[in-house]
Amino acid sequence: MERHQDPVFGYVLGMVQDRDLAHDLFQDTFVRVIDALQRRRGGYVQQGRFLPWVMRIARNATLDHIRSRGRRQTQIADDGYWDNIPSGTLSPDHILEAREERAWLQRSIARLPEEQREVLTLRQDSELTFREIAELTDVSINTALGRMRYALLNLRRMAGKRPHTKKKTPRKVASVA
C-alpha cells in the first residue's frame, strides 16, 4: 500500500488541488481498497496490475466528490499546496521565483477542462501509461493522447500569455530526437 500511496495521492491532489480534501479522499480510497480486498468482491483478482485497480477506486472516489459538490472546475485552495514542496538548496530569489512559477502552474492546471486535467495528472503524477489511462477512463488510447496533447498545448498557450514569462527553452533546437 505504501508503494502506491504517492501516485494515488498525486492524482487525487491534482484533481481537487486541496491538500486536506486530498487526504480525505485518499483515506476513503484506501478504506475502499481494504474493504474490496477483504470481501474479494467486485475487485482485484490478481490478474491485472494493482495500481490501475487502485487508481480506478481513487478516480471513482474523486469524481464522486467533485460531482456531489456540483462543480466541474475545482477551486484553487489557498492552503499553499506548492509551499509544501521542498525547494532544495536554492537562493531566496530562486525559491521565490520557483514558488511563483509553481503557483502559476497550479492555477493553469486548475483551469484546464476536467478530462484534460485528469489525463495530465494521471500521466505526470501517477505515471500511468496512456494505455492504462485509456482503460481507466474508459476511452480509446487516441482519445487519451488527444486530451494530453490539448492539455499541454493549452498550458503552453497560458504560459505565452503570462506576464514576465521567461523563455528558458530556446525555440530553435538543432536536434529534437
Restricting to residues 52-71, name those near other proteins by CB under 8 A.
none
User: Sign of torsion, CA 32 129 126 6?
Assistant: positive
Asked if 146 touches other proteins (CB under 8 A), the answer is: yes
Q: Which of 42, 163, 169, 174 binds other proteins (CB under 8 A)?
A: 169
Asked if 155 touches other proteins (CB under 8 A), the answer is: yes
Cβ(31)–Cβ(63) below 8 Å = no
Q: Which of 16, 30, 54, 74 binds other proteins (CB under 8 A)?
A: 30
Cβ(128)–Cβ(8) below 8 Å = no
Q: Between vectors from CA 6 to CA 136 and to CA 119, what angle results, nearest 5°?
A: 35
Cβ(26)–Cβ(1) below 8 Å = no
Cβ(158)–Cβ(108) below 8 Å = yes
Distance CA 143, CA 130 (A): 10
CB of 8 to other proteins, least distance (A): 8
Restricting to residues 105-134, name those near other proteins by CB under 8 A.
105, 120, 123-125, 129-130
Q: Which of 49, 71, 85, 90 binds other proteins (CB under 8 A)?
A: 85
Q: Which region, left, alpha or beta, applies to residue 45 given φ > 0 means left and ψ of -120 to 50 means alpha? A: beta
If the CB atoms of residues 54 and 148 are measured against other proteins, the closer one turns out to be 148
Binding site for other proteins (CB under 8 A): 1-2, 5-6, 9-10, 13-14, 22-23, 26-27, 30-31, 34, 81, 84-86, 98, 101-102, 105, 120, 123-125, 129-130, 142, 145-146, 148-149, 152-153, 155-156, 159, 168-169, 171, 173, 176-177
